[in-house]
Structures are given as C-alpha cells and as structure tokens.
Amino acid sequence: MYDSHGQDQLFFKEFGDPATNHGMAINADGDELHQFFASASWGGFTLQGVFGSRDKTIPTAAFGSVFNVTGTRTIDARGYIDLMYERQLVHGWNLSSRTYYDAYNNDGTYEYDYSASGGPSLVMNKNFAHGKWWGEDLTVSKQAFGNQKWSAGAEFRENFQQDQGNYDLEPYVQYFADSRTSNVASLYAQDEIRLRKGLILNVGIRYDHYSTFGGTTNPRAALIYNPWENTTFKFLYGQSFRAPNMFELYYDAPGNEANPSLGPETVKTMELVWEQYLPNRLLMTVSGFDYPIRHLINQQVDPANGAAFFDNAGSLDLRGLEIAVSRSVPGGLRGRLSYSFQDAANASNRVALTNSPKHLIQASLSVPVIQREVFASMDLQYVSRRATLTGAYSGAYIVPNFTLFRRSVSDNWELSASLYNAFNRKYADPVGNGLAENEIVQDGRTFRITVGYKFHR
C-alpha cells in the first residue's frame, strides 16, 4: 500500500495567468497505490495471482482540462491469475504449459469548462478502457543428438472484452462507446545447434495471426562464438512487430478519428556483442546495434477537420554503441559503469527523435560496511539533452542516489535509508501529446526509510 499527498503546490509557467492562479496547482498531485501478490506451488503446478490499482491525481491540465482542480485523475487496475505446469515426458521431451486470465481497467475523470460555448463552467468527463482476456501457452522441448535443443510451441489469446468510451457525467452526454472482441493465435519453433566446440547457432521463427490485421512471420538468429575461455562474441538478428491497440484502431470521440486499417509497426534488430573477462574479476561488454523501425504508428492531424488519428506514417533509424565494465567479488563488493551512445532519428529527414538522449552514463557501486549485514550503495545517472515536441531541448542532467541497507541473516529484518537526487538537481523531462507544457520538472531531493520483515517456511 502506498499513499502520497504529493506536492502541496506545483508551478507550471504555461498557466502563469491570474485566471489560472498564476500557474500554481494546489493540492493536485496525489498518488495512491495498492498491490497484492500470491503464489503457491505443488508438484509440477504453480499458481500465481496479482491484483494492483493506482489512483493518480493529475495536476497538468491534460487534454485541455481545467487547470488547478483536484478532480482530474486516472485510476488503473490490473489483475491476473496464472496456472503453470511443467513435467518431463518420455524420450527426453519436456512439457511446459501456462493458462491465464487477465483483466485491466483504465478510468479517467477530466474536468472541463464549457462556458465559452454556452455550457456549464465545470463538467466531469469520463473516459474509460476496460479489457478482459484469457489464453493458453504450450511449449515442448528436447535435447537431441547431443548437440541440439529443439523447442516448439503454440499460443492462443481470446480478448473477450475490449470496451472503451467517453461521456460527460452531468448533464449526461455520450460522445463515444465501442465494444469489441478479438483473438491472437501463434506458432513458434527454435533450434539451438552446437556446430563445434565454442560455436553455437540459435535459430527460431514465429508466426502470429491477429484477427484485427492478419498474419505476420518473424525470424530470429544468434551466432555465439567462444574462441577462448574468457572471450565471447555474439551476432544477434531478429524481426519483431508491435500490433496496434484498440485505442489507436477505434477511438472515435470528438477531436479524434478511428483508423481500422492501421497495421503493425515493424523492426529489424541487428546487434554485435563482445564479452571479455579481464583480470581482477572484471567483465567488459561492448555492443553495437542497428534497429531500423518501419511503419511507425504516429499520431496525425486530419487537415479537413483538425481531428487526430493514428497512421503508419513514420520510419526511424536507431543506431548506437554501449560499453560496460562490471566487477563482483565475494563479500558483497559490486560495481558497474556503462556508457551508451545512440542516434535515433527520422529515416527520411534525419530529424531527432523527441525524448531520446544521445548519451547515457550509468554507474553503481555497492560496498559492505559490516560484512554480510550492512551495505552502502550509490547509483548515478547522466542523461544528455533531449528534444521536445516544440523543437526545443530539455537540458542535460546528472543525478546521484545513495542508500544504506541493513539485511540480517538471523532475524529476517531489513532496514534501508535512501537519499534520491542527493544534490537537489533541478531537471525536467519532455512530455508527450495532450499537454500544454513542453516539459515537466521532476522531484528534487527525496528521502525515504524502508522497514521490512520476511517470513520463511
């Protein structure tokens, strides 16, 4: 359970007008979270369930709603139950089965002012998306000929509730209501082949058929070469996709248009990796990658009426390099330092992708203060500047976090004290569509104490 009143007041310069409280949002930043998890195993069966909900008050006047009110909020609830079964069959075959049921609800409340068009000055608008689905995933595998591992499987998912809508509460006006069902059926196979000592080829293929747009076939392959004991090279290739969701396909409230002919995004992934163990328990990893993304699902504006709709209108090229060095020694000393360079741009005009930093540096260090019981850790992140939707840039920042952690092997108690954004760095993240703001300032220095107790049986 988590319950936060949030910031008492937040300033947004885009609303810096006397009519909007000079840009100050008062008591509009609450956040409440509940989550429950349970798992039980018996023999080859494992039953697992989760339920969680989050109630978030929104202070940013999203989607043109009224600024400085406490009624604009979203409630997300997610629950699922999984039954997994594993067993060994005859002739070296292994069976794995997963049957599941999932449910997700998103309910948003937005307060609008209709007085400019002769309506009420404050109306609650409700926007919802409710989904329920079940499915089955079945996989068989076998070690064959001493140098191969076969696996094959099938999946089926039935989305038996996909409802979404939008309406005003009082006076009641329904703008949009949609109820659908859909299904997905998939087949996949994989073969891991030891071509020779130190050389492994992993190949696979997957076919998915969506009732909304049809079928798609995607292969993948990995060649893993271990020429020396401390050296490994990997070449990875794959094709994948992202299916359009119900909101992108069918949402048709005022200011929006549906596009039932929307197709999936596609991406090819190519990566070359070098892993090298060095003296003093150091591991160095160097990887270069190239991800061309095509048929990107992008929000467009219909010039005829100004309504927003989604279309396969974009292409991106994502290329980069990552270097990481890590060390872990007995007794609890652990450290990692990584640098990433990535170039993400529109494939046709090379315009930079929004909210995509070119440079990332991450560092972490955990040191035992009292052996096996008390640890001190630090993690640091540097993020370079990022483009915003307006073509401006959010500034680069570096933020360190510190934690003192106590874990007792004998009494099961855990205690930690953490200091986030230790130097109270002021930084902001670019926003997406639907907000008047260009960027949102993030939290400053935050202190948290956590106490936990673990039960074992």
pLDDT tens figures, 102-118:
999 999 999 999 999 88
Q: Is residue 20 part of a domain?
A: no
In a domain, 267, yes or no: yes
Helix (H, G, I), strand (E, B) or coil at 91: helix
pLDDT tens track for 143-171: 887 778 899 999 999 999 999 999 999 99
| 201 vs 191: CA distance, rounded Å | 8
Assess if residue 12 is contained within a domain. Answer: no
| φ/ψ (deg, to 5) at 198 | 85, 5
pTM: 0.85
pLDDT of residue 406: 85
Q: Which residues of 97-112 are buried (b: 16+ CB within 10 A; e: fewer)?
A: bbebebbebbebbbbb
Mean residue pLDDT of the chain comes to 92
Distance CA(409)–CA(288), nearest Å, equals 41
Q: Which comes out higher in pLDDT, residue 173 or 410?
A: 173
pLDDT tens digits for range 220-246? 999 999 999 999 999 999 999 999 999
Whether 27 maps to a domain, the answer reads no
- CATH number of the domain where residue 260 is located: 2.40.170.20
Count of domains forming the chain: 1
pLDDT at 412: 79
Percent of the chain whose predicted confidence (pLDDT) is above 70: 99
Highest mean pLDDT among 91-95, 100-104, 373-377, 441-445: 100-104
Q: Is residue 34 in a domain?
A: no
Distance CA 69, CA 54 (A): 19
Which helix (H) or strand (E) covers residue 249, if one does? helix 246-250
Strands 45-57, 31-42: pairing kind: antiparallel
Q: Is residue 33 part of a domain?
A: no
pLDDT band at 251 (very low <50, low <70, confident <90, very high): very high
Say whether pLDDT at 435 is over 90: no
Is residue 1 included in any domain, yes or no? no
> Distances in Å between the alpha carbon of 375 and those of 102, 295, 364?
39, 48, 13
Angstrom distances, CA of residue 426 to CA of 38, 291, 356, 359, 421:
39, 33, 19, 19, 9
* 262: in domain: yes
What angle is formed at CA 139 by the lines to CA 137 and CA 144, rounded to 5 degrees?
A: 170
**Domain containing residue 102:** 40-453
Q: Provide, rounded to the nearest whole percent, the portion of the chain with pLDDT above 90.
A: 75
Predicted pLDDT at 457: 62
Q: Which residues contact 51 (CB under 8 A, 6 or more apart)?
A: 35, 36, 77, 78, 79
